Amino acid sequence: MALDKNIVLVGMMGCGKSSVAKVLGDLLSEYEVVETDKEIELIENSSISEIFRKKGETYFRNCETAFLHQIKNKRKLIISCGGGMFIREENRKLLKTGSVSFYLSGSAKTLCNRLNGDSSRPLLNCENVEEKIKSFLKERTPYYELADLKIDTNLKSVEDVAKEVMEKFINYGK
């Protein structure tokens, strides 16, 4: 039974981590939703775009790791990770302790459609967003696949994905 653990959501920008975490938080009222990007924005008193612009990506990646150290002893969290969080080995180790991790997958087309018109992702600030997403997927999928479980989000509603995560979490290790 996994119920005293954390739920960790990983995957590409646009896979629905934040929306799914929100619905999960309503379904599992004892669990606290933690959005790593939001927490970093609070700590740094700056938006993600501004952090990238003023301090660079490496600084942001170090903020991500530092934040995971801050919460490493907490449980019953639903941790919605920024899309690059699961790439660094140290982050994976921290996230995979005391948790069940879920890779929310989606095709480049699906992710691109979901991100349409959203300018808050500095790494997608480019001409051909779909091509960029494809290249990120190629590079990152092997890391995302290291999550405990994978859920295909293509053609599914946020509510359906959240219910699937909850059911798999409750039954994990039974």
Closer CB to ligand S3P, residue 121 or residue 156? Answer: 121
- Evaluate whether 82 touches 57 at the Cβ level (below 8 Å): no
Provide the minimum distance between the beta carbon of 39 and ligand S3P in the complex, in angstroms, as a whole number: 11
Closer CB to ligand S3P, residue 25 or residue 84? Answer: 84
- Evaluate whether 43 touches 55 at the Cβ level (below 8 Å): no
Provide the minimum distance between the beta carbon of 44 and ligand S3P in the complex, in angstroms, as a whole number: 12
Give CA separation, 152 vs 24, 92, 162, in Å: 17, 21, 12
Provide the minimum distance between the beta carbon of 121 and ligand S3P in the complex, in angstroms, as a whole number: 5
Closer CB to ligand S3P, residue 62 or residue 171? Answer: 62
Which among 40, 12, 31, 4 has a CA at the least distance from the CA of 133? 12
> Angle, to 10 degrees, between the axis of helix 57-71 and the axis of helix 36-44?
110
Provide the minimum distance between the beta carbon of 111 and ligand S3P in the complex, in angstroms, as a whole number: 10
Provide the minimum distance between the beta carbon of 31 and ligand S3P in the complex, in angstroms, as a whole number: 19
Closer CB to ligand S3P, residue 84 or residue 106? Answer: 84
Closer CB to ligand S3P, residue 6 or residue 36? Answer: 36
Q: Applying CB under 6 A, which residues contact ligand S3P? A: 13, 17-18, 37, 48, 82-84, 121-123
Which among 80, 45, 54, 78 has a CA at the least distance from the CA of 166? 78
